[in-house]
């Protein structure tokens, strides 16, 4: 028998056909998939011992307790201790790796420039520190440093003079405050939510408005007029005209607040009129109480008092040091600029990125980001008792960063080592309150804990809670008149963007339209028609902050005449113009 070429071809064809009936090709597909899954371009998660650490989130003043799941020393997931966290808190462990993160800066040059500028300061010129989150131990160090500098001024945004007790409220009227979206600790707000009726008054159907029992769509900037009307300090007809509500609605609202008490009225900053209205409603000591503060060492009491920016004379600041490392309320740059001397002022910002005040500063020095930072958190607006909590680092800060407290203390020649420890010792020495340890959920009276153990526990993520103060005498019933400004044809209102957030927040900005992303604006269809733009159109937005290119989104939940702008903190509402490109 001879083997022909035809036999060979038959054999090869048969073998190829037969191979398809074996597992080999299917196995090859799976193996190819497995190989490609592990190619060098795909990162491999690190492995190691799983540990749990506790700390407090320092991204906003709420200071939520955080449980970190770590692989070795590296946090890989963050969760809340008393409930969930906001999306910024959940992804906070990514911040050190943000592409816009500052890692190096001209520290020596900045120090030399500050020293030279201070030496040149005229008799009426000031050296000032702007602290976006007052009430911290770092704030006290700034105040002490400024007390030691000629014409030193410590500037901080106005803080709410009172705390709110949501647990006691049966009716809550929110005048534009995002109560359920970051105004206070989410755990507190949602724990109390089922017990109160929420009425939200604002021109945009915000997240809080969408969850409110009643949404009162009022005109932009008419919140104070509504507060005055409810207190009887403004005629109802006048208030109805300014807010766009019916007179009947305002009368019914006033009656509900009185009859379904204890009532609580809030706005973003707990303004004087709102506090006075609460006092008027009999809420003092029930739903609002004086703002508590943790004890400080007696020697610190000689520190410079906080000043509001408006109280600083125009054209008087020669050197301005801005601590942006602990984000808080941003003051509009236009207002800050007015206070700087006209000739060659020096502005130094301590920040994690250049997105904030760094855009206007001569020097931007890199500061530690959460969770590399060691800082304490002042009492949140919904804390009725004083507290002391530390944001302790979960990972070490890289080399090259600057501690703004050390920098400012160095400028003033102030020796302030271990200020946090000094404050913890002062709190311990007061012997008041209790220490709550998150790891085991136990609490102990401070009197029963030694000073070293107290400090150690705080660094391991524990929290000191003091005794709630007696409300004392209620503040006077002083109302300031609401300014009646002309309403522009189109008003820009900010939907705030964080200065720095995790790259994963692109899930909510870019891969879904859940939050208004950067360079986007939202308008009512009628306003869009008047501006000649439609959904998805490219346009230019002109506001007091300048001109920029945006994409228009149509949203019929927005009051006509309002354009919702995704803006960095510090954006001031005001006249706007949208022009189609």
Partner 1 sequence: MKRYGMSIDVDRCNGCGACMVACAVENNIPPAHQGANDRKGITWIRVYRVDNGEDFPDRRSAFVPVLCQQCGEHTPCASVCPQQAVDVDPATGIVGQMPERCLGCRYCMAACPYHARYFNWWDPAWPAGMEKTLNPDVALRMRGVVEKCNFCHGRWHAAKQRAAAAGKKDIDPADYVPACVDACPTGAIRFGDLNDSATAVAEDARKPESFRLLEKLHTDPKIYYRSKKDWVKEIASAPRPGARKESLRG
Residues that bind partner 1 (CB under 8 A): 29-30, 33-34, 36-37, 39, 41-48, 71, 74-80, 83-87, 89-91, 93-94, 96-99, 180-181, 186-187, 190, 193, 205, 207-208, 210-211, 215, 217, 502-508, 510-515, 524-525, 556-560
* Those residues with Cβ within 8 angstroms of residue 262's Cβ, 6 or more apart along the chain or in another chain: 168, 169, 170, 171, 282, 283, 286, 287
**Helix (H, G, I), strand (E, B), or coil: what is residue 407?**
helix
Question: Smallest distance, Å, CB 514 to partner 1?
Answer: 5
Sheet containing 375-377: order of strands:
375-377, 387-391, 463-465, 434-437, 442-445
Give CA 55 to chain center in angstroms.
17
Nearer to partner 1, 158 or 537 (CB): 537
Please calculate the CA angle 212-214-220 and round it to the nearest 5 degrees: 90
Residue 90 Cβ vs partner 1, minimum distance, rounded to whole Å: 5
Residue 174, both tokens: 């929110």
Instruction: Provide the b/e sequence for 435-448 (b: ≥16 CB within 10 Å).
Output: bbbbeeeeeeebee
Smaller CB separation from partner 1, 89 or 378: 89
**What letters, b where the CB count within 10 A reaches 16 and e where it falls short, cover 9-29?**
eeeeeeeeeeeeeeeeeeeee
Shortest distance, position 313 Cβ to partner 1, whole Å: 42
Please state at what angle helix 236-243 crosses helix 247-259, rounded to 10 degrees: 110
Whole-angstrom Cα distance, residue 409 to residue 164?
A: 34
Task: Name the residue with tokens 């949404």.
Answer: 215
Choose between 211 and 460: whose C-beta lies nearer to partner 1. Answer: 211
Instruction: Indicate the residue among 178 and 404 with the shorter CB distance to partner 1.
Output: 178
Percent helix, strand and coil across the chain, each rounded to 5? 35, 25, 45
**What region does 438 belong to: left with phi over 0, alpha with psi -120 to 50, or beta?**
alpha
**Residue 52 beta carbon to partner 1: minimum distance, rounded to whole angstroms:** 13
Regarding beta strands 363-366 and 346-351, do their DSSP bridges make them parallel or antiparallel, or are they unpaired?
Answer: parallel
Task: In angstroms, give the least distance from the CB of 148 to partner 1.
Answer: 39
φ and ψ at residue 354, rounded to 5 degrees: -90, 5
Nearest approach in angstroms of CB 99 to partner 1 is 5
Output 333 or 509, the one with its CB closest to partner 1: 509
C-beta of 16 vs 42, nearer to partner 1: 42
Cβ closer to partner 1: 143 or 242?
242
| Nearest CB to partner 1, comparing residues 90 and 494 | 90
CA atoms of 259 and 424, how far apart (whole Å): 44
The DSSP result for 85-125, as a single string, is --HHHHTGGGGGG-TT------HHHHHHHHHHHHHH--TT-
Smallest distance, partner 1 to C-beta of residue 503, A:
4
C-beta of 171: minimal distance to partner 1 in Å? 19
CB of 512 to partner 1, least distance (A): 5
Whichever of 41 and 431 has its CB closer to partner 1, that residue is 41
Using the minimum distance from each CB to partner 1, give the nearer residue, 138 or 565: 565
Query: Cβ 434 to partner 1, closest distance in Å?
Result: 25
Pairing mode, strands 197-201 and 214-216: parallel
């Amino acid at each position: 028998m001879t083997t022909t070429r035809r036999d060979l071809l038959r054999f090869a064809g048969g073998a190829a056909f037969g191979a398809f009936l074996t597992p080999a090709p299917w196995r090859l597909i799976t193996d190819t998939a497995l190989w490609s899954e592990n190619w060098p371009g795909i990162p491999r998660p690190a492995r190691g011992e799983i540990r749990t650490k506790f700390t407090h989130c320092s991204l906003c003043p709420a200071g939520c307790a955080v449980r970190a799941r770590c692989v070795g020393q590296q946090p890989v997931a963050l969760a809340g201790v008393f409930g969930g966290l906001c999306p910024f808190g959940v992804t906070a462990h990514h911040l050190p790796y943000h592409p816009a993160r500052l890692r190096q800066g001209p520290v020596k040059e900045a120090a030399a420039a500050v020293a030279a500028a201070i030496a040149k300061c005229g008799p009426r010129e000031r050296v000032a520190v702007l602290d976006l989150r007052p009430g911290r131990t770092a704030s006290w160090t700034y105040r002490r440093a400024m007390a030691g500098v000629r014409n030193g001024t410590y500037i901080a945004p106005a803080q709410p003079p009172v705390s709110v007790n949501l647990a006691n409220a049966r009716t809550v009227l929110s005048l534009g405050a995002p109560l359920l979206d970051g105004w206070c600790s989410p755990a507190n707000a949602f724990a109390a939510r089922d017990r109160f009726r929420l009425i939200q008054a604002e021109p945009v159907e915000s997240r809080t408005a969408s969850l409110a029992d009643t949404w009162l769509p009022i005109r932009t900037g008419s919140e104070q007029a509504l507060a005055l009307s409810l207190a009887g300090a403004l005629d109802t007809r006048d208030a109805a005209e300014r807010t766009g509500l019916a007179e009947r609605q305002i009368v019914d609202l006033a009656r509900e607040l009185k009859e379904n008490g204890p009532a609580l009225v809030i706005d973003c900053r707990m303004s004087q009129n709102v506090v006075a209205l609460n006092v008027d409603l009999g809420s003092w000591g029930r739903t609002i109480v004086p703002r508590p503060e943790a004890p400080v060492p007696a020697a610190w009491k000689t520190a410079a008092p906080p000043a509001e920016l408006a109280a600083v004379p125009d054209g008087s600041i020669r050197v301005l040091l801005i601590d942006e490392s602990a984000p808080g309320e941003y003051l509009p740059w236009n207002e800050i600029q007015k206070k700087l001397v006209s000739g060659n002022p020096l502005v130094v910002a301590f920040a994690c990125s250049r997105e904030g005040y760094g855009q206007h500063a001569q020097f931007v020095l890199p500061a530690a980001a959460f969770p590399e930072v060691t800082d304490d958190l002042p009492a949140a607006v919904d804390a009725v008792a004083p507290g002391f909590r530390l944001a302790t680092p979960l990972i070490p800060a890289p080399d090259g960063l600057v501690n703004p407290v050390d920098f400012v203390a160095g400028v003033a020649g102030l020796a302030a080592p271990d200020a946090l420890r000094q404050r913890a010792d002062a709190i311990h020495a007061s012997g008041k309150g209790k220490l709550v340890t998150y790891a085991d959920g136990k609490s102990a009276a401070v009197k029963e804990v030694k000073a070293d153990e107290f400090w150690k526990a705080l660094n391991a993520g524990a929290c000191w809670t003091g005794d709630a103060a007696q409300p004392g005498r209620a503040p006077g019933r002083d109302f300031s008149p609401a300014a009646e400004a002309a309403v522009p044809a189109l008003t820009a209102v900010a939907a705030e963007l964080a200065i720095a957030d995790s790259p994963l927040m692109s899930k909510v900005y870019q891969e879904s339209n859940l939050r208004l992303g950067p360079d986007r604006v939202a308008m009512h269809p009628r306003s869009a028609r008047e501006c000649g733009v439609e959904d998805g159109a490219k346009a230019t937005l002109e506001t007091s902050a300048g001109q920029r290119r945006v994409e228009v989104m149509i949203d019929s939940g927005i009051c006509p005449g309002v354009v919702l702008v995704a803006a960095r903190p510090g954006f001031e509402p005001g006249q706007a113009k949208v022009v189609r490109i």
